[in-house]
Amino acid sequence: MQLNIVPARTGLNWARQGIRTFWRQPLAMSGLFFLFMAVVSLMSIVPVIGGALALMLLPALTLGMMAATEAAEDKRFPMPGLLFCALKAGPQRNAMLQLGAWYALAFLLIMGVSMLVDGGTFARMYLTGANMSPEVVNSASFQAALWVSMVLYIPLAMMFWHAPALVHWQGVAPVKSLFFSFVACWRNLGAFMVYVALWFSLFIGVALVSMLATSLLGDASLLMAILMPAGLMVAAMFFTSMVYSVRDCFLITRADH
């Protein structure tokens, strides 16, 4: 395993490669992403521990989307089982579950910090999907909790960005993978800033086009009917692009081949 330093413009290539690969198998990649979301949602409704279980699965399911991207890139149809490849019996399954446990713990700690800011309103909405009135959402304490959570989540995302691939494909220990992932993101910060800015712009663009289409049709009730599928498709493209950032940041010898 070797860390590579790439120019900032590489972030554009990651997104472009992800979009191109998505359109090689659009139905399959969309379906896998919907399955991803369905599994997380189903885990979340388990009483008491559901939220933690859903968080624990995220690294493994993210690795599954990377594996599906590679299949689509090779012009193979990515079967649903690929989404769960990191959870199949093998030497790396326990390590992946341990990585998931670290992710769940760190995320819940971030939510705990946000509770100190607004008394738990933001955390309750995020973890349980509780409905909040516009007055609560626009309150200073809620907004402060939102921004604190976002700022704290950035280093967490950096630690876990490459970690699933390093654990599953390279056999790196979970804690070491977090360190290597953070360093890779930091050393390639320019490329990741371009990458994130591009995807953020795409999501905003989809929202604006959806609103324009709704306005032209003269029916405001159609907004979510247009925005939701379009937004989910862009999210599926985003997950399809992730593996390309891992490839460019690390020269990896696959442990599962």
Number of domains composing the chain: 1
What are 21's two structure tokens? Answer: 């690969």
Tens place of pLDDT for every residue, the chain, 257 residues?
A: 789 999 999 999 999 999 999 999 999 999 999 999 999 989 888 877 888 899 999 999 999 999 999 999 998 999 999 999 999 877 789 999 999 999 999 999 999 999 999 888 888 888 776 777 778 888 888 899 999 999 999 999 999 999 999 999 999 999 999 999 999 999 999 999 999 999 999 999 988 888 888 877 777 677 777 788 888 999 999 999 999 999 999 876 554 54
Residue 257 covered by a domain: no
Buried b (16+ CB within 10 A) or exposed e, 32-63: bbebbeebbeebbeeeeebbbbbbbbbbbbbb
85 lies in some domain: yes
Q: Is the residue at 203 inside a domain?
A: yes
Domain hosting 57: range is 2-251
pTM of the model: 0.89
* Domain membership flag for residue 14: yes
